[in-house]
Structure 1
Amino acid sequence: MTSLINLGTLNDSFPYSFTESAGTVNTTLEPNTTTCVINDNSMSIPLALAYSLMFVFGLLGNVLALYVFLCVHSKKNSVHVFLVNIAVADLILIICLPFRIIYHSTKNHWMLGQTFCKVVGNTFYMNMYISITLLGFISVDRYIKIQRSVRQYKLQKTKWSIITCCITWGMAIAFIIPMISKPEGNEKVTKCFQYKGRQSAKWKAFFNLAMVVVFWIVYISLMLSYGQIAKKLFKLSREKSDLPNAHKYRQTAKKSFFVLFIFTVCFVPYHMFRVIYIWSQIYGTTCYWTNIIDKTNEVALLFSTLNSCLDPVMFFLLSGSVRKMTVRLLCRNVPSYASTTNSSTTEYQQAKASQVTSSTRASFSIIHSFRQKRLITGI
């Protein structure tokens, strides 16, 4: 009995080594280690199918979004700059998915070398966190808009958003270079995107932990900013309930909560579990829990990847101009659209003229309300 106890406590700091291959868990005890075989083939086909669907919808959605932003949508402001960069980051992430699809569809067999594996893997995560960071900047930008006057904000224009995006991309590329160039000591030629112990490369684990901290900072800023924006919009809807467009304030507030909903569903489960995943990489755990942690991380990562497909939906719902341009492109019914638009414009001008005739004060109130709404929503 004593010998068995000593055998189980030979190395408390990291008593397990991991072998990523098909098979079952090997619980045979050896003098200094317990070999853990991770069965990562059980989810290979479902993962390949899920990433395939995300690739198709994400590619179509983000290409369409970029086309609308760059070629059709004429409104240029700070939020527009951020949305363009988010669409680019999502598109690059989507382009990484075929490599994951091929890897999982071939029963987790990698054939393109370890260097390219690290390029694809780190590029995937880099663009995911760029998208997260820029969504945070959008929330801050919209919050600033409700705190400043129109004149103050116009002086700022889009300069700060362009500088912020350039700094974000530059820092991301600078951080990704050592992640690709420095070896970990446990690379396997035929493996990629698999669970890895970080006991010999703890600095990478701590860097991943720092990214988790960045996420939670962004998430808190999103909740605070959109909470204040929604509060402001609901307040305006109550104070200006007699105006024709008062209900639009409530609608815009509800759409702001939709952004938070997407962000929460896609990213919160992954980053809640990420702490456990990184801890197991550094300090190790039993083979049973290692297999559970590996599978749970793969499922949570699917939700994070899903955000790249849902971002174009967010663009469509939050921006009325983008929505109109997208519908126009998809329907290809320009004359009918123009006719409807002209008719609506004529009716609006007639209604506005009537309001000006009846009450000059009410007219100015409507114009101010419209400008205030555009200032708060930002897109």
Structure 2
Amino acid sequence: MDRINKTSMSKNTQQDCQMEMDNTSMRVPLAILYALFFLFGLAGNLLALWVFLRVHPKKNSVRIFLINLALADLLLVICLPFRVVYHSNHNRWVLSPLLCRIVGNIFYMNMYISIVLLGFISVDRYLKFQRASCRRVFLQSRWSALLCCVIWTVSLAAVTPLIVQTPENGELQKCFQYKKLQNSKWKAYFNFAVVGIFWVVYGALVISYGRIGMKLLTASRNKPDFPNAAKYNKTAWKSFFVLFLFTICFVPYHSVRIFYIMSQMEKDGISCDRKKVLDKTNEVVLLLFALNSCLDPVMYFLLCSSIRKVMLKIICNCFSKQITRGLINSSETPQDQPKVSVVELNTVT
């Protein structure tokens, strides 16, 4: 009887704590921000894919990585409306539990595909900068395409068990909530492994873009009269900017994620106050995590000079057409306007 009473009291305590977490004031800001991320991310990545596939179909390793990166970001932003509906509905999930697992796992799968692809892009740019001979063999377009296929295949194989397996003691009306992993420690170890992959990729980015930026800055400062000094300086700051975006979007989440997973594995559980702090902190850094899907198109513009030229040409053509139309309309006089005969007026009426 004592065990039953303790179990029922524990369940009531968990329910009360969950109700306090559900009544948070973060629901409305989360819904608004995820909606904005969806709109900007969808428009930016669709435009990027259109430029990559239709306007500028030149094949090289970076372009193949960027196409897959835009595709991963596009699949990620498609998951965001489900989060908007969930937070708008007082953190209540009204759809199928299977769809909840699909949306949640596809969201993270595509985000980590983006992270890995960004790592390969940084290595590709570093090898190109160093003019390394291995780049000609390993990072040709066919090898980069094969590498992308491997990344997608491994990611789908890793996420499928998480989707198929029914969670223990899962709440039907909950989806993106704090979960204990006491009885599923393999999930916690899997999450730790994914976090480890991130830090490896982050180290590769810091080394690659850091060395590229420092060498270019040093070259531009040592030889300020050199014709390409200004170009070197600009390229260096672009490299630092890409590294800055990656740090802002991903480092806070993966720093918090370590403590978040550790709390999920604790046998005795954690206090409600600590759970609320972890949950709110996780939601804030997850916003930065998702923001990357909107910022990647900015990176495309910075990384690829050919893509930048195409985008600028499209923008200039659009503005020139608008200006031309305005000049034509303003230059027309009343005598230049087309005359309508009485017969035509009668026909219209």
CA distance in 1, matches of 2:164, 2:253: 26
**Partner residue of 2:233 out of 239, 245, 250:** 250
**2:307 maps to 1:322:** yes
Give the deviation of 1:234 after TM superposition: 2.7
The count of aligned residue pairs is 313
Could you say which residue in structure 2 is the equivalent of 1:87?
Answer: 70
> Is 1:281 equivalent to 2:270 in the alignment?
no
Runs of 4+ in 1 over 6 A off after TM superposition: 18-21
RMSD: 2.5
2:310 aligned counterpart, secondary structure: helix
> Could you tell me how far apart the structure 2 residues matched to 1:170 and 1:154 are?
23
1:291 to 248, 272, 276: 276
2:152 & 2:277 partners in 1: Cα distance?
Answer: 34
Where does 1:317-356 land on structure 2 (aligned, <5 Å)? 317-333=302-318
Deviations 1:205-237 (A, max 9, x none): 111111111110100110011112123323443
Any idea what SS the aligned residue of 1:332 has? helix
Percentage identity across paired residues of the two chains? 53
Determine if contact 2:61/2:139 at 8 Å carries over to the other structure.
no
The residue type equivalent to 1:287 in the other structure is C
2:22 to 30, 40, 47: 40
For the 8 Å contact 2:127–2:135, the answer to whether it is kept is no
- Once the two structures are TM-superposed, the CA of residue 155 in structure 1 deviates from its matched residue by 8.8
Matched, 1:189 2:150: no
Q: 1 CA distance for matches of 2:138 and 2:199? A: 31
2:49 counterpart letter in structure 1: L
Query: Are the equivalent residues in 2 in contact too, given 1:198–1:282 (CA < 8 A)?
Result: yes
Alignment of 1:54 onto 2:31: no
Q: How does 1:262-281 map to 2 (within 5 A)?
A: 262-281=245-264
TM-score, length-scaled by structure 2:
0.83
Secondary structure of the residue aligned to 1:196 is coil
Aligned amino acid, residue 22 of structure 2: D
Give, in whole Å, the separation in 1 of the partners of 2:38 and 2:99.
Answer: 20
SS of the residue 2:22 aligns to: coil
> Structure 1 residues 137, 160: CA separation in 2 closer, same or farther (over 3 Å shift)?
same
In structure 2, list runs of 5 or more residues that go unmatched: 322-349
Higher fraction of helix: 2
Q: Give CA deviations for 1:327-375 in whole Å, capped at 9, x if unaligned.
A: 3223434989xxxxxxxxxxxxxxxxxxxxxxxxxxxxxxxxxxxxxxx
User: Matched residue of 2:260: which SS?
Assistant: helix
Q: Which amino acid aligns with 2:292?
A: N
User: Aligned in 2, Cα 1:150/1:205: closer, same or farther, shift over 3 Å?
Assistant: closer
* Structure 1 residues 244 and 154: CA distance shift in structure 2, 3 A: farther
Counterpart AA for 2:238 = K
Give yes or no for contact 2:37–2:291 (8 Å, CA) kept in 1: yes
Q: CA 1:217/1:18 → structure 2, altered by over 3 Å: closer, same or farther? A: farther
**Match of residue 303, structure 1, among 259, 275, 288:** 288
Provide, for residues 234-257 of structure 1, a one-character-per-residue CA deviation record: whole Å limited to 9, x for no partner: 344356544422210111011000
CA distance in 2, matches of 1:19, 1:97: 31
User: Do the aligned partners of residues 227 and 146 (structure 1) sit closer, same or farther apart at CA in structure 2, a change above 3 Å counting?
Assistant: same
